[in-house]
Amino acid sequence: MRRFWTDRRGATIVEFALVAPIFLLLIIGGLELGYSAYLRTLLEGEMQRASRDRTLEDALTQRVAIEEKVRGMIGRLAPGATLTFERRALRNYSEFAAPYEPFSDQNGNGRCDAKETYEDLNQNGQWDLEVGTNDSDGNARDVVIYTATVHHVRLFPIKLNPFQGDADIVAQTALRNQPFDGQAAVVERSCT
């Protein structure tokens, strides 16, 4: 019996069996994080390039070509990924942080009530809680916030992977349209 306790043959196999799952988990997690970081960097770089290209030409004719360029680049790295784009046009960069269209809150209740005036920045005839115009390329001198979302399958979609399920990567860029014309004047309207 004493000989059984002092015999060290096979100890390496037992130690490897204990360490291997943790080691594999670290390797898979590291590769998954690296893949996501690379995909995010690639997406952000392509969005920056797209915004620079878009400001050089007419926005309407260039948008489709630029989005296809970004889709092609992401498609080479993540073949099964889906890519969606959103655009929001604002009059200037400061509106990006504005929670709603500015209004004169005469009674101090935080709502745009009757007989109070507001600035109709997107010119849709009503006071909005969101500043800007969605799905718009904007007009001259407008700022366009471009958002791209990549929905992709993980690199290792197995149960051992600590990052299971699909993932979304979002990149955003802001650009100002060329000043080929004057911006439309801001219209003040009454709240209803």
- Domain residue ranges of the chain, discontinuous segments joined by +: 2-190
- Amino acid 161: pLDDT: 56
Q: Within 10 Å of residue 186's Cβ, how many Cβ atoms?
A: 12
Residue 114 CB partners (closer than 8 Å, separation 6+): 190, 191, 192
Instruction: Return d(Cα 189, Cα 192) in angstroms, integer.
Output: 9
Residue range 85-142, pLDDT digits in tens: 988 888 777 777 777 777 778 887 877 877 788 877 777 777 777 777 777 777 777 8
Distances from the Cα of 164 to the Cα of 70, 120, 132, 172, angstroms: 26, 45, 36, 25
Between 35 and 181, where is the model more confident?
35
Instruction: Return d(Cα 119, Cα 112) in angstroms, integer.
Output: 11
Instruction: Return d(Cα 161, Cα 36) in angstroms, integer.
Output: 14
Check if the beta carbon of residue 113 is closer than 8 Å to that of residue 151. Answer: no
**What does pTM read for this prediction?**
0.68
Pairing of strands 143-152, 82-90: antiparallel
- Amino acid 19: pLDDT: 93
Residue range 45-60, pLDDT digits in tens: 888 887 777 666 565 6
8 pLDDT band, cuts 50/70/90, is confident
Instruction: Give the pLDDT mean for 144-173.
Output: 79
DSSP 8-class letter at 183: P
- Amino acid 41: pLDDT: 92
Token pair 């979302």 in the structure block, residue: 149
- Amino acid 69: pLDDT: 83
Q: Mean pLDDT, the chain, as a whole number? A: 79
pLDDT at 78 over 80: yes
Between 3 and 146, where is the model more confident?
146
